[in-house]
Amino acid sequence: MRLRGRSMGWVPPLLLLAGIAVADFNTTGEFRIISWIVLVPGIAAALCGVWGTAVFAVLALLTYVTVDSAWPHQYQTGLPDFILVTVGSILAVAACVVRVRGERRMLHMRDIADTTRRTVLRPLPPGWGGLEHAGVYLASDTEARVGGDFYDIQPGPHGTRVLVGDVQGKGLGAVEAAAALLGTFREAGYHEADLATVAERLETRIVRHRNHTAALGRKADGDRFATAVLLGFPEDAPGAVDAVVFGHEPPLAVGPGGVRQLPAGDGLPLGLGELAPARPTVRRLPLAPDETLLLVTDGVTEARDRQGCFYRLRDEVARAVAADPGVTEPRRLAAHVRDGTLRHCGGRLDDDTTVFAVRRPPHPRDE
């Protein structure tokens, strides 16, 4: 409980302490409620720190002795209730110690999860790689705060590359696979001139990662794969984008004139390349200067409402753009899809959810 940044957790137990004392003074001798004061340190244990709870435990004991002594001897509750209040106060302080330790442990684990997320999903500076972008990541496991979805932008001498994907499965195994793919993307995306070579490097990396986890005896990770979209923004073709789709939901091109879906391509998910007769095709697709590419994972497309209906992403985005063409700006577009997904599923995410919007600046900047 906080008010203007200050903790107000001491207010309820203090009001309860005063209320019980005043009420006991105004009752008849046959009906005493002073022993109810044992509730005060119990309430404090849930709202205050250890020292605060200890203070209320002492105050409860002192108030009990003071109020009970004010009554004639025949109406005093005596030693049994004093023992009750004493034992209750001690247990309340002990419970508060356990609660505070648990909260500190949870905060420590959250810090670790945040560090892991910043390592896997590194923060992207505004205008990184000469692109306007906005990303939203929501983990289905709110305690873990990081899962198998991934995205990144890698500028380099051969243009800027973008990768968005989703590792099959959940848990630390999915996080490890995502980290492996992102590490390879950051290196290959910078050094390799051919986007097809970057795609091959990603396929090789997840196969090597699976072999490594299988050698460790982690059979559950031995068949892990990932869907992904690999984009290249060539410097010599400002009106086009190169795309490789690895079994992922194709990007949407969102512009003031409407919403269109880019071709799905012929690529299989990363890790299943050995089943394909040839390596995936790199397609150069036209992209208008005012169009934003919208990429999402299945946490968006498979979000269901209470009736079991899927979230209709393309229709919802088209409706929003028709009402306000400014929604095509990456930050607004990502926020709109995030809010729409959460509203559609009532805030209950069954899978990790990533929304990533990216476009060339409407007016190219001079580097």
Looking at residue 189, its pLDDT comes to 95
Token pair listed for 151: 């995205």
Looking at residue 106, its pLDDT comes to 83
φ, ψ at 324 (rounded to 5°): -150, 100
User: For the residues 187-208, what does the mean pLDDT come to?
Assistant: 94
Looking at residue 366, its pLDDT comes to 39
Token pair listed for 33: 């409620």
pLDDT at 27 over 80: no
How large is the angle between the packed helices 79-120 and 50-69, nearest 10 degrees? 160
Query: What percent of the chain has a predicted confidence (pLDDT) above 90?
Result: 50
Q: How far apart (Å, rounded) are the C-alpha atoms in residues 251 and 360? A: 15
Strand duo 160-167 + 252-255: pairing: unpaired
Q: What is the DSSP string of 61-117?
A: HHHHHHHHHTS-GGG---HHHHHHHHHHHHHHHHHHHHHHHHHHHHHHHHHHHHHHH
Q: Which amino acid is at 37?
A: I
* pLDDT band at 367; cut points 50, 70, 90: very low
With residue 49 as reference, give the H or E element that holds it. Answer: none
Model confidence pLDDT, tens digit, residues 232-256 = 999 888 899 999 999 999 999 999 9
Q: Where in the chain is the domain with CATH 3.60.40.10?
A: 126-359
Angle at 153 between CA 151 and CA 154, to 5 degrees: 130
Among the ranges given (4-13, 25-34, 264-273), the one the predictor scored with the smallest mean pLDDT? 25-34
Rama region for 271: left / alpha / beta (φ>0; ψ in -120 to 50; rest): left
In sequence order, what E strands does 170-236 have?
Answer: 226-233
Looking at residue 25, its pLDDT comes to 75
The pTM score is: 0.73
Residues near 352 by Cβ (< 8 Å), separated by ≥ 6?
A: 137, 138, 139, 140, 147, 148, 149, 166, 170, 297, 299
Q: Which amino acid is at 2?
A: R
Q: How far apart (Å, rounded) are the C-alpha atoms in residues 291 and 238? A: 12
Q: How far apart (Å, rounded) are the C-alpha atoms in residues 41 and 134? A: 48
Looking at residue 113, its pLDDT comes to 66
- The single residue listed with the structure tokens 């205008």 is 127
Among the ranges given (103-112, 200-209, 298-307), the one the predictor scored with the smallest mean pLDDT? 103-112
Residues near 147 by Cβ (< 8 Å), separated by ≥ 6?
A: 139, 140, 141, 170, 171, 174, 175, 352
pLDDT at 263 over 70: yes
For residue 285, what are the β-bridge partners?
A: 241
Model confidence pLDDT, tens digit, residues 133-190 = 999 988 775 555 566 889 999 999 999 999 999 988 777 788 888 999 999 999 999 9
- CATH class in words for 126-359: alpha beta
Q: Which long-range contacts (CB under 8 A, 24 or more apart) does 168-173 make?
A: 168/224, 168/225, 168/226, 168/227, 168/269, 169/220, 169/221, 169/224, 170/140, 170/141, 170/352, 171/144, 171/147, 173/213, 173/218, 173/220, 173/221, 173/224
